[in-house]
Chain A
Amino acid sequence: MRRLRLFVLAVAALGLAGPAAAATGKEVVDTICAGCHRAGVLGAPRLGKAQDWKERLQQGRKTLYEHALKGFKAMPAKGGNPKLTDAEVRAAVDHMLSLAEADKGGAAGGGEAAAAKEATAAAPAPRAAPKPRVSAVNRFNRLLEKEADCNPPPPEDGIHDPENDGTHLLLPPKEAFTDLPKAPSGNCVDWVKALEDGYINPRYDRLDPNVQPIVMDLNIVREVKGSMPDVVYPHKQHTEWLDCSNCHPAIFVPQKGANQISMAAILLGQKCGACHGKVSFPVKDCRKCHSKKKPMTLQRTQTTQ
Chain B
Amino acid sequence: MRALRRGAAVAVALAALAAVPAQAEYADVVINRRAEKEGMPPVIFPHWFHRIRFRCRVCHLELGFEMRAGANDITMAAIAEGRFCGACHNGEIAWSPENCFLCHSGRPGLKSGVRGGHQTSGPGRY
Contacts and interface: CB of A to CB of B under 8 A. Distances in A.
Interface of A: 35, 39, 41-43, 74, 126-129, 132, 139, 142-143, 145, 147-149, 151-152, 154, 156-161, 164-167, 169-171, 173, 176-177, 186-189, 191, 200, 202-207, 213, 240-243, 245-246, 250-251, 266-271, 273-279, 282-284
Interface string B54-88: 11111011110001100000000000000000011
B126 A274 contact: yes
A166 B99 contact: yes
Nearest to B5: A126
Given A166-B100, A189-B48, A207-B93, A145 B25 contact: no
Nearest to A176: B52
Contact of B24 (A143, A158, A186): A158
B34 interface: no
A200 B52 contact: yes
Interface in B17-35: 17, 20-28, 30
**Could you tell me the dominant secondary structure of chain A's interface residues?**
loop
B91 interface: no
B57 to A, nearest CB: 4
Interface of B: 6, 9-10, 13-14, 16-17, 20-28, 30, 39-41, 44, 46-49, 51-58, 60-63, 67-68, 87-88, 93, 99-108, 110, 114-115, 117-126
Nearest to A280: B27
Contact of B106 (A160, A189, A240): A160
A206 B118 contact: no
Contact of A279 (B10, B30, B47): B47
Given A202-B55, A206-B58, A279-B114, A159 B120 contact: no
Given A147-B117, A189-B48, A278-B114, 4 more contacts: A152-B25, A161-B108, A164-B105, A271-B126
B120 A276 contact: yes
A176 B49 contact: yes
